[in-house]
């Protein structure tokens, strides 16, 4: 069974984007390429760089963690990234 990852990328404009995937390297490449698979948010904020990731045993837990992170303030996310 694949592990799921919650990840944060830092965009060129210094904003942070949070997502869920089973392959962080592939997903970051999708965000950075002209692929239709990248997020609309990151499309105009390239390049992006992976700054944090966390492993979860299943998609459901990873999505709950993603939702919790998205509710955090920017300062809380920066603290997570810096300490992670």
Q: Where are the domains of the chain?
A: 4-83
Regarding the domain delimited by 4-83, which CATH topology (the fold level of the hierarchy) does it fall under? GIY-YIG endonuclease (3.40.1440)
Question: Given pLDDT bands bounded at 50, 70 and 90, which one contains residue 83?
Answer: confident
pLDDT digits (tens, 9 = 90+) for 26-53: 999 999 998 888 899 999 999 999 999 9
* Per-residue pLDDT, 35: 80
**Are 12 and 46 a contacting pair, CB within 8 Å?**
yes
Looking at residue 47, the DSSP 8-state letter turns out to be: -
Around 46, how many Cα atoms within 13 Å sit in the side-chain half-sphere?
Answer: 13
Average pLDDT for 13-34: 96
Average pLDDT for 19-29: 97
**Which residues of 30-69 form beta strands (DSSP E)?**
49-56
Beta-bridged to residue 53, according to DSSP, are: 7
Q: What is the pTM of this model?
A: 0.94
* Per-residue pLDDT, 1: 62
Rounded Cα gap, residues 76 and 3, in angstroms: 25
């Amino acid at each position: 069974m694949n592990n799921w990852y919650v990840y944060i990328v830092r965009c060129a404009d210094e904003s942070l984007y949070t997502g869920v995937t089973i392959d962080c390297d592939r997903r970051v490449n999708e965000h950075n390429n002209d692929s239709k698979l990248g997020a609309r948010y990151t499309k105009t904020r390239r390049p992006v760089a992976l700054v944090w990731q966390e492993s979860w045993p299943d998609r459901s837990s990873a999505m709950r963690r993603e939702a919790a992170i998205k509710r955090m303030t920017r300062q809380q996310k920066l603290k997570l990234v810096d300490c992670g």
